[in-house]
Structure 1
Amino acid sequence: MRWVWIDRFVEFQSRQRAVAVKNLSMAEEFFDEHFPGYPVMPAALFLEGLAQTGGILVGEANDFKEKVVLAKIPTAKFHREVFPGEQLTYTTEVLILREEGASVRGTIHAGAELVAEAEIFFAHLDQARSKQMFGDSNFVFTGELKNLLGLARLAANGSSNTEEGAKA
C-alpha cells in the first residue's frame, strides 16, 4: 500500500514550482496513536507530503522518464505541531535541476503560519536500473500522485478556458 500525503495540487509551474494541499481530519489513522488524547501529525509525515509534492515537480520536468527517489534532506526545521482540522499547504520550488538529480526548497503552512521548511535532494534513476533494483510499485509516479497532477492540469486548463471565454 502506498500512502499519499497530499489531497490535490493547487498550482503547478513545470520545472519551477508546485503547491499542494492536505486536509487533516481525525479520520487519519496516525492520529489514533500519535498521541492518544493529544493527536498531532508526526513530523516525518510533514516531510513526506513535501517530498511527494517536490518529487512530482522534479519527475514531471523530465516527463517521468527517470524514477525520482528521495536522496537526502540536508535541512529541516519544524516550527510547531499540526492538529486535526487544519489544512496544510506544501510549496516546493526547484533550486537545481540536473541530469543526475535535483534539489527543491519547500515550506509547509497551516493557514498563514509557517509550520515547517526543508531542502530536499532527489536522485534520478533510469527506468531499466530502477525496475531491476526496486520494481515498478515502489514509486509515486505509477499511482495516485501522478493522477493528482493530471487533475491539476485539467483544472488549470478549464480555468484558463473560462477566463478566455469571459474576455470574449
Structure 2
Amino acid sequence: MIVNDYKGRFDFELEKDDNFTINLTDERGVRNRNPIPFRLIKIDDIKPNIYVNAPLPVSEIKSDQIIPLDITIKDDYGFSSLQLAYEIKRPEYFKSEPIISMFNIPININNENKQDIKTTWDLNPLGLMPEDEINFHFELYDNDVLNGPKKSYIKHIKAKTTLVKRSF
C-alpha cells in the first residue's frame, strides 16, 4: 500500500468475488476496532455487439457503386476498432481467384459504449464489373486491455452488380 499523508492507495486484480476490510493502525499501534466489511463482485467484460441497419443482407449495387452503411455498435467498456472485410467474386467464366481485403471504419474510441455510425462505402476504386459479387462482413473489437480485445462480427452481407443490358 502506498501511503501519502492521509491517503492510501493500492492496486490489485480481482479474479473472483471476494470480501475485504480495511484494518488501520496508528503510530501508537492502536487498530480500528470494527472495520467495515466490503464486498467486491467481479463483472466480466462481455463481447461487443454490432447491428447493421443498412445495407440489407442481400443487396444490389446501384450504378453509382456507393453502399450506404448504417451501423450501431455497443459494448460495456468501449471499442478499439471496427473493420469491414470483403471478398470480390468474379463470374465463373472468368476462372479467377477472389479478391480479399479489409479496411478500418473510423469510430470514436473514447470509451463511448454506444455509437451510431452512418457513412458510405465507395466501390468505384475496386473496378467492379457486371455480375461481380461482393461478400462482406464487419468485425468489431472491444478495448479489453486486461485479457485482450474480444471480437464480434456480423454474418456476411452479399451485394451484386447487375448485368448490363445492351440495346441494338
Q: TM-score under structure 1 normalisation?
A: 0.32
Report the structure, 1 or 2, having the larger helix content.
Answer: 1
Report the structure, 1 or 2, having the larger strand content.
Answer: 2
Structure with higher Rg: it is 2
Q: TM-score under structure 2 normalisation?
A: 0.32
